[in-house]
Amino acid sequence: MSDLMKLCNSINQCLVRPGSRRDELHIGEIVYILRVKSRLTQEDLAQKAKVCAQTVKRLEGGKGKVSDFTCRAIFKALGVHITLLTKLLDD
């Protein structure tokens, strides 16, 4: 399983309550939450990640595919170290 999938699974285990109407958050929703908490616009995040703003919009909206490389760049721009965060959430 990729580091990104492990991160999403770990976040879902920590954030999604059992019995809630939603079973899990998708990666775009996680990026949205982190971006808003960082007080960044989609355009700001795109610029920091060196991707186009449309890519951030697609990812957050769950529309279209975004490469692992691009996801990593976005998480890095948000200050998220994927492997470290996954380990912390799992402990």
Q: Number of structural domains, the chain?
A: 1
User: What's 71's domain CATH number?
Assistant: 1.10.260.40
What is the reported pLDDT for 62? Answer: 86
Dihedral sign from CA coordinates of 56, 57, 59, 63: negative
What is the Cα Rg of the chain in Å?
Answer: 13
Q: Please give the chain's pLDDT, 91 residues, in tens.
A: 577 677 666 666 665 555 555 555 678 888 898 899 999 999 999 999 999 999 999 999 988 778 888 888 999 999 988 777 666 656 5
The CB-side HSE value for 52 (13 A sphere, CA atoms) comes to 4
Q: At residue 69, what is the residue type?
A: F
Q: Which pTM was predicted?
A: 0.71
- Domain boundaries, position 14: 3-90
